[in-house]
Each structure stands twice: as C-alpha cells, then as structure tokens.
C-alpha cells in the first residue's frame, strides 16, 4: 500500500531546500572585481599585497593590521628598486562591495580570485600573506603568485607570540619569507622584467652609458661596527607532533627566531658588501634582479658574511648617494669602510648590439687591490641564461677569498 504524503510535508521539504540554497549560494557567488584604468608604463615589477588575519584575539586588530602590513611591504620592496606596489586604496576599489575574504577564498580554484584581482590592478604578481595562531606561536604563510601564468611560490615561518606582536615586527617575518621566495622565483621574475623592458632596446644596438663627472667630496660615512649580515641556509622547524597546524603538515616551516639570532651574532668571516650592478636605466630592473641573484650565490658559498643591502642603502643615503650613482671605485671603497666591510663586489650589466654582458670584480677595501673578477654574456632577451651561470661567476669572485 502506497503512503500518501501530506501537503504540509511537501511544504516543509520545500522550505528546507530553499533555506539550504539561500545559505549556500552566497558562499558560491563569485566575488566581483572592478578593473581600474592601467597605470603609467613602468619597467618595475608591479605587485599587490593582501593581508589576512586568522581567528582569535590579536594585539593589533585585524583592520589595523590589514592596512599596516601592505604599507610595510611597500616600504621594504621599494628600497630594492625592483618593485612598485599597488596602493591599498586601489586594492579596495577593485574589490568594492565584497565582504571579508579568507585565505581559502583567495586560494580556491588555483588562486583564481587572486589572479582576477591582479589583472584588475594591472599587477604582475600577488603577495597573499596570512597570520594564524597555534600553541603560542604565530605562523606566517605567504604566497607569491604570478598573475599571468599562475606559478606559485610559498614560504611559511614561525615565531613566538611573546616576541613578535607589533606590525613592525612583521617586517622581519616578511624579509625572511621573501628571501626564500626570491631564491625560487628569481627566474620567473627575471622573465617578467625582460618582457617589461622597452622592446626597442632589445632590437637596437646600445652603447654603454657615459660616466658622469666625479662626485663632489662627501662626508665620511657613518661607521657601523657590526653590520647586519645575511646568513646561510635557513633553519626550519622540526616536525615534532603538534608543532605545526594540521593544514601545514608537510610544509617546510622556517624558524624565524633561530634565523634572526644567527644573523645578529658576530661573524669571523670576511665581511663583503655587494653593490648593485651599474647599468642603463631601461635595464635597471633586470640588473637589480641579477645583482640580488649574485648576492644569494655568494651567501650559498659560505666564505663571506654579506652586509645587508638595507644597511648599504642607509649609509649611501646618509652621504647623499644612491646605488645607481656609485660608479667611482674610490667612493665605493670609502662606503665599504663605513660598513665595516673588508671587501666589496661591484660591476656592471650592459647591452652591446644583440649581446648582454655582466662583469664583476671583488676589491680589497684596505689596499684597493682587485682580488678576483669574472664576466658572463648572453643574447639580449635571454638573460635567464645568466642565472644559470651566475653560480659560476660567484665562485670566480670568491676564488682565494
């Protein structure tokens, strides 16, 4: 015998289904992205930054952190000369009307939302950084995403909650995480920088930039007795039970406290200051990426304690110079002394016809003697070939120490 369902039962099922759909559909709705007019053309790598806060009570509230962190990243990246960062106002404008977004919202469908926002901001890369708490530690999870091709580079670090509470402290986390990301993403970034270089430059002969007149005498640079130095391979958190959240199982987690402690210790190795490669303005971003790659390879060799680039920029600023204007070797030696460096590396990257050439040398600060030198070359537009050879150049420069 068939059972008849009452009209009330049918209405109940109908309301149940509608309630379910009304609860689920908003979560499935696509976040609307409103593209902005393109910014002025620039050879710099353009990025946008999104900060995300996990659940729990924080000393600096979520809204304050979400505003402060992108500005902090902007200040750090701007010093390199490689990047320009989309403003917070532009990022908000592109996402106007959307509610709070989680890391899952950004990462789902292979970071589809991050790529759409990046395109709306005319950015080359996205930096999505989230902070979460777990058993007395802050876990800092950062993804660097190529907006055009979807390539992803990730770095995670951990620090005690009791030590890193202010927004400014996150600058240390960002630098450590981004250093790891740079090692993995430099080839991708170089390809992007080459693509953004003026096309005409890659097709026509280029003469080396004329040397400017010798700089006017400058006051002696401030002495730094113990400059910050960049360390060797980054220590990681051991994989003991419960040390990391479940969603980070299998992910390499950097131990921020050990890294910063190691970098603050007195180092008996020769201190080496590596200047940015001298180049012409249209190739400046490419040259800066190659300069940073050379620093990383010299760090890997372990023969030197490298002076932190930020210290170098700081001293140059104090005496009214910039890295790009430091073409006089005597002036470079003087700045090296102010950094307490015993040796310096300087060089140039130029294009001649269809060939790009990178030259560098290591100089003793005290005697001003050239200790080692080397060069690399490739076809213009194929500077990624230089990255494959730059480890060899670093070994040549380090020869004999």
Domains and CATH numbers, the chain: 45-192 (3.40.50.10610), 266-401 (3.40.50.10610)
What is the per-residue pLDDT for 118? 97
Question: Across residues 10-19, what is the average pLDDT?
Answer: 48
pLDDT at 249 over 70: yes
Tell me the pairing of strands 152-160 and 253-255: parallel
pLDDT at 135 over 60: yes
Q: How confident is the model at residue 338 (pLDDT cuts 50, 70, 90)?
A: confident
> Strands (DSSP E) along 115-217, which ranges?
125-134, 137-146, 152-160
What is the per-residue pLDDT for 401? 67
Residue 55 φ then ψ, to 5°: -65, 160
What is the per-residue pLDDT for 256? 86
From 132-141, 210-219, 234-243, the region with the lowest mean pLDDT: 210-219
Q: How confident is the model at residue 245 (pLDDT cuts 50, 70, 90)?
A: confident
Bigger pLDDT: 354 vs 181: 181
Q: How confident is the model at residue 233 (pLDDT cuts 50, 70, 90)?
A: low
What is the per-residue pLDDT for 285? 92
Q: How confident is the model at residue 400 (pLDDT cuts 50, 70, 90)?
A: low
Percent of the chain at pLDDT above 70?
Answer: 78
pLDDT at 363 over 90: yes
pLDDT tens-digit series, residues 37-69: 999 999 999 999 999 998 888 888 888 888 888
Contact predicate 386/317, CB 8 Å? no
Q: Which two tokens stand for residue 9?
A: 């039962």
Pairwise CA distance, residues 254 & 234, whole Å: 7
Pairwise CA distance, residues 154 & 185, whole Å: 10
pLDDT at 383 over 90: no
Burial of 316: CB neighbours in 10 Å, binned 0-12, 13-18, 19+? buried
Pairwise CA distance, residues 263 & 14, whole Å: 64
Q: Which two tokens stand for residue 216?
A: 């006017």
| Start-to-end C-alpha separation, the chain | 95
Q: What is the mean pLDDT of the chain?
A: 81
pLDDT at 208 over 50: no
State the DSSP code for 60: S
């Amino acid at each position: 015998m068939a059972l008849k369902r009452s009209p009330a039962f049918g209405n109940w099922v109908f309301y149940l289904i509608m309630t379910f759909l009304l609860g689920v559909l908003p979560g499935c709705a696509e976040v609307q992205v409103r593209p902005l007019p393109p910014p002025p053309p620039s050879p710099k790598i353009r990025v946008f930054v999104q900060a995300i806060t996990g659940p729990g009570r924080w000393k600096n509230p979520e809204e304050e952190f979400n505003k402060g962190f992108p500005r902090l990243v902007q200040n750090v990246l701007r010093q390199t000369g490689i990047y320009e960062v989309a403003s917070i106002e532009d990022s908000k404008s592109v996402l106007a009307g959307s509610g709070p977004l989680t890391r899952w919202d950004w990462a789902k469908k292979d970071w589809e939302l991050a790529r759409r926002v990046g395109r709306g901001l005319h950015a080359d890369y996205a930096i999505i950084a989230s902070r979460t708490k777990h058993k007395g530690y802050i876990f800092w999870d950062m993804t660097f995403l190529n907006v055009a091709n979807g390539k992803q580079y990730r770095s995670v670090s951990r620090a005690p909650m009791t030590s890193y509470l202010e927004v400014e402290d996150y600058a240390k986390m960002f630098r450590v995480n981004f250093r790891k990301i740079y090692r993995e993403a430099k080839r991708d970034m170089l390809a992007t920088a080459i693509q953004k270089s003026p096309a005409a430059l890659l097709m026509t002969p280029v003469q080396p930039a004329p040397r400017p007149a010798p700089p006017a005498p400058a006051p002696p640079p401030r002495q730094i007795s113990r400059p910050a130095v960049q360390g060797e391979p980054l220590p990681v958190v051991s994989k003991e039970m419960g040390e990391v959240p479940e969603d980070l199982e299998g992910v390499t987690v950097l131990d921020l406290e050990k890294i910063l402690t190691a970098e603050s210790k007195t180092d008996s190795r020769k201190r080496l200051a590596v200047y940015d490669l001298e180049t012409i303005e249209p190739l400046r971003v490419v040259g800066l990426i190659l300069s940073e790659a050379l620093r990383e390879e010299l760090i890997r060799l372990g023969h030197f304690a490298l002076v932190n680039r930020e210290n170098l920029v700081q001293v140059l600023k104090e005496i009214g110079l910039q890295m790009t204007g430091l073409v006089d070797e005597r002036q470079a030696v003087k700045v090296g002394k102010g950094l307490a460096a015993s040796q310096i590396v300087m060089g140039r990257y130029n294009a001649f016809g269809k060939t790009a050439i990178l030259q560098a040398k290591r100089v003793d600060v005290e005697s001003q003697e050239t200790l080692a030198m080397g060069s690399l070359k490739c076809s213009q537009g194929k500077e990624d070939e230089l990255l494959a050879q730059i480890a060899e150049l670093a070994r040549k420069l380090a020869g004999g120490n």
